[in-house]
């Protein structure tokens, strides 16, 4: 068990869902300060997860730079897929906090909860929401920094955190079949004491990101990944290294190795044979 | 309530136990760290690469006529959640050494800086993190392990940098390290994991040399 029993979490989530004490989204106006009055949420393809993006440029850097991601569901080849979420910034604080990720299958035209500290407002329809991930962010005691021969460090540190959600193929297929292929996700940071008391007004929020699930046979490809459109990107994995694959206009295939958070760390070649020779007999052969 | 967590946290530690670094492949946050530098306020970096991830050898312009304090931002990745307090620190030295002066069996990357000329320039507490059971949802279940990328700023003092430059020590070498607080407090540095050595050269002037990429912080 954990610091939050399942019962307690459900209670918190239920209150979260029914809170309708919405004032105008006036407060929070002012300068945007990440980690202070809003968060930034990004998604990165993880193990066994293939995505469609509009171009390779979306894949460079530390995450997929899009708030509208399409995930390809492969019922025949995988039972689960990993989607990695990154949240920035989490500043050092003198109180315990809770970071959580909520998703809903619908958006709300207006915030269903007042969040005056956050310049980004709640966009999810809380009638269809679930908390999908919850993390403890411990209070951090600041340490005195010594003056050195080059200068002095700031006593506070910021963090960018990442976590994985194992998307279960059967569950995702059910969503698709029920006509709810799209989910919207928002992340929130709140003092633990407020979370425990279900006082969600004090949380700060990220933007709402959209994730659409598509069956492999109906979008991004036909029956085979070879017919990806120009600059579509998928990822496949051998268990540790994630491989990004992009089809270019000429039909050549470029292979990239990325690290755990989707950052490209090397370019391997432009055809599959070069990759096969690099890895020997790969476990991850896609077709 | 916290007691209940203890068991889970202990299991968590077992699941992320560190293997001998020399016997296995690199695992970020488990047996090595990555250190990156970015330009902060009033600071200009000259680099051969615009890609921050490919740096590791940068030049910083020190304007002797500027009274503005320059900020250099460091990021360290990845820091794995642990059930014990940890210490993250950044050490620099004006020299590197041919062989490590401290054995670090747990780290795939070895100590490269000369500790006789080293100073710890930044020191942070990474508190133990309580693992929370993740809810089973209509889409799946989250992994209880959280990883972090820490960033912090160092205010470089122009006068001190000028003194370094004039004494012929215009290059410093930096490494980040992560270790359990209990080991740090007792001076057992053999258990730390390390980043690569990054090189920073200070250059007295106003602009980068022709051909290099100039990156100025906001």
**pLDDT of A194 strictly over 80:** yes
Q: pLDDT value at position B73?
A: 94
- Chain A interface, mutation test: which of B27, B93, B139, most A Cβ atoms within 10 Å? B139
Question: What's the Rg (C-alpha) of chain A?
Answer: 21
Domains contained in chain A, CATH given: 6-20+38-48+68-140+156-215 (2.20.130.20)
Q: With CB atoms and an 8 Å threshold, state whether B141 touches A165.
A: yes
Q: pLDDT value at position B55?
A: 63
Average pLDDT over residues A167-194: 95
Comparing A77 with B2, the larger pLDDT belongs to A77
What is the enclosing helix (H) or strand (E) of A110?
none
Residue B152, chain A, CB below 8 Å: the answer is: yes
Average pLDDT, chain A: 71
Size of interface A-B (CB pairs under 8 A): 185
Q: Range with the lowest mean pLDDT among A186-195, A261-270, B89-98, B205-214? A: A261-270
Secondary structure class of A5 (helix, strand, coil): coil
Q: What is the 3-state secondary structure (H, E, C) of chain B?
A: CHHHHHHHHHHHHHHCCCCCCCCCCCCECCCEEEEEEEECCCCEEEECCCCHHHCCEEEEEECCCCCCCEEEEEEEEEEECCCCCEEEEEEEECCECCCCCCCCCCCCCCCCECHHHEEEEEEEEECCCCCCCCCECCCEEECCCCEEEEEEEEEECHHHHHHHHHCCCCEEEEEEEEEEHHHHHCCCHHHCEEECCEEEEEEECCCCCCCCEEEECC
B60: distance to nearest CA of chain A, Å? Answer: 12
A24: distance to nearest CA of chain B, Å? Answer: 31
For residue A207, what is the DSSP state?
A: P
The pLDDT profile of chain B, 218 residues, written as one tens digit per residue, is 222 222 222 222 222 222 223 334 568 899 999 999 988 998 988 876 655 445 688 899 998 888 778 999 999 998 998 999 999 999 999 999 999 999 999 999 999 999 999 999 999 999 999 899 999 999 999 999 999 999 999 999 999 999 999 999 999 999 999 999 999 999 999 999 999 999 999 989 888 877 777 777 76
For A101-159, what is each residue's pLDDT tens digit? 999 999 999 999 999 999 999 999 999 999 999 999 999 988 999 999 999 999 999 99
Q: pLDDT value at position A221?
A: 40
**Whole-angstrom distance, CA of residue A46 vs CA of residue A279:** 19
Confidence of residue A193 (pLDDT cuts 50, 70, 90): very high
B190: distance to nearest CA of chain A, Å? Answer: 22
A28: distance to nearest CA of chain B, Å? Answer: 24
Q: pLDDT value at position A26?
A: 37
Q: Range with the lowest mean pLDDT among A33-47, A81-95, B82-96, B119-133? A: A33-47
Do the Cβ atoms of B140 and A147 come closer than 8 Å? no
Q: With CB atoms and an 8 Å threshold, state whether B142 touches A101.
A: yes
Nearest to A185 by CA among A57, A40, A76, A80: A40
Q: pLDDT value at position A72?
A: 78
CB-nearest partner of B140 from A154, A162, A167: A167
| Sequence-ordered list of residues with C-beta below 8 angstroms from that of A46, at least 6 positions apart, any chain | A81, A82, A83, A84, A164, A235, A237, A242, A260
Q: pLDDT value at position A52?
A: 62
Cβ neighbours of B164 in A, within 8 Å: 149-150
Q: With CB atoms and an 8 Å threshold, state whether B133 touches A130.
A: no
Confidence of residue A74 (pLDDT cuts 50, 70, 90): confident
Q: Range with the lowest mean pLDDT among A63-77, A177-191, B74-88, B157-171? A: A63-77
Cβ neighbours of A2 in B, within 8 Å: 4-5, 8, 130-133
Nearest to A133 by CA among A160, A162, A96: A162
For B16-70, what is each residue's pLDDT tens digit? 222 223 334 568 899 999 999 988 998 988 876 655 445 688 899 998 888 778 9
Q: pLDDT value at position A178?
A: 94
Average pLDDT over residues A166-180: 94
Q: With CB atoms and an 8 Å threshold, state whether B146 touches A259.
A: no
Q: pLDDT value at position B186?
A: 95
User: What residue of B is the nearest CA neighbor of A153?
Assistant: B154
User: What residue of B is the nearest CA neighbor of A141?
Assistant: B125
For A215-250, what is each residue's pLDDT tens digit? 765 544 422 222 223 333 444 444 444 455 443 434
Q: What is the pTM of this model?
A: 0.76
Q: pLDDT value at position A17?
A: 40
User: What residue of A is the nearest CA neighbor of B133?
Assistant: A2
Chain B residues 71-110 with CB within 8 Å of chain A: 77-79, 88, 90, 92
**Whole-angstrom distance, CA of residue B193 vs CA of residue B179:** 7
User: What residue of A is the nearest CA neighbor of B150?
Assistant: A159
CB-nearest partner of B121 from A82, A148, A161: A148
CB-nearest partner of B139 from A10, A132, A141: A132
């Amino acid at each position: 068990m954990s610091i939050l029993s399942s019962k307690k979490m459900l209670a918190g989530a239920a209150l979260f869902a029914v809170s309708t004490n919405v004032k105008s989204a006036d407060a929070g106006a002012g300068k945007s300060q990440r980690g202070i009055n809003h968060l930034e949420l990004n998604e990165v393809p993880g193990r066994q997860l293939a995505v469609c993006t509009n171009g390779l440029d979306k894949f460079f850097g530390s995450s997929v730079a899009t708030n509208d991601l399409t995930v390809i569901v492969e019922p025949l080849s995988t039972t689960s897929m990993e989607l990695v979420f990154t949240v920035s910034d989490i500043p050092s604080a003198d109180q315990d906090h809770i970071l959580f990720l909520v998703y809903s299958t619908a958006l709300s035209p207006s915030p269903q909860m007042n969040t005056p500290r956050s310049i980004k407002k709640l966009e999810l329809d809380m009638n269809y929401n679930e908390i999908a991930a919850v993390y403890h962010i411990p209070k951090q005691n600041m340490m005195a920094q010594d003056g050195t021969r080059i200068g002095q460090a700031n006593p506070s540190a910021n963090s960018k955190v990442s976590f994985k959600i194992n998307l279960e193929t059967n569950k995702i297929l059910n969503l698709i079949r029920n006509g709810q292929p799209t989910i919207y996700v928002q992340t929130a940071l709140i003092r633990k004491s407020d979370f425990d008391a279900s006082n969600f007004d004090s949380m700060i929020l990220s933007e709402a990101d959209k994730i659409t699930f598509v069956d492999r046979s109906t979008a991004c490809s036909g029956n085979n990944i070879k017919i990806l459109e120009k600059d579509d990107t998928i990822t496949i994995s051998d268990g540790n290294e994630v491989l990004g694959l992009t089809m270019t206009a000429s039909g050549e295939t470029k292979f990239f190795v990325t690290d755990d958070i989707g950052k490209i760390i090397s370019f391997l070649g432009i055809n599959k044979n070069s990759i096969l020779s690099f890895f020997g007999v790969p476990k991850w052969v896609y077709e | 309530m916290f007691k209940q967590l203890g068991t889970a946290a202990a299991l968590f530690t077992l699941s992320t136990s560190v293997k001998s670094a020399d016997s296995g492949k690199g695992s970020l946050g488990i047996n090595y760290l990555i250190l990156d530098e970015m330009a902060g306020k009033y600071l200009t970096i000259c680099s051969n690469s615009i890609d921050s991830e490919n740096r590791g050898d940068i030049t910083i312009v020190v304007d002797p006529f500027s009274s503005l304090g320059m900020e250099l931002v460091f990021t360290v990745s990845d820091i794995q959640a642990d059930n014990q307090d940890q210490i993250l620190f950044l050490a620099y030295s004006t020299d590197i050494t041919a062989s490590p002066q401290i054995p670090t069996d747990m780290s795939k990357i070895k100590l490269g800086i000369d500790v006789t000329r080293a100073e710890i320039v930044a020191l942070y507490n990474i508190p133990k993190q309580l693992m929370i059971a993740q809810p089973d949802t209509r889409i799946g279940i989250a992994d209880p392990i959280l990883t972090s990328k820490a960033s912090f700023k160092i205010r470089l003092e122009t006068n001190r940098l000028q003194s370094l430059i004039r004494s012929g020590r215009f290059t410093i070498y930096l490494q980040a390290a992560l270790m359990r607080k209990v080991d740090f407090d007792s001076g057992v540095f053999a258990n730390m994991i390390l980043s690569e050595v990054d090189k920073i050269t200070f250059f007295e002037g106003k602009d980068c040399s022709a051909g290099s990429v100039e990156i100025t912080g906001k």
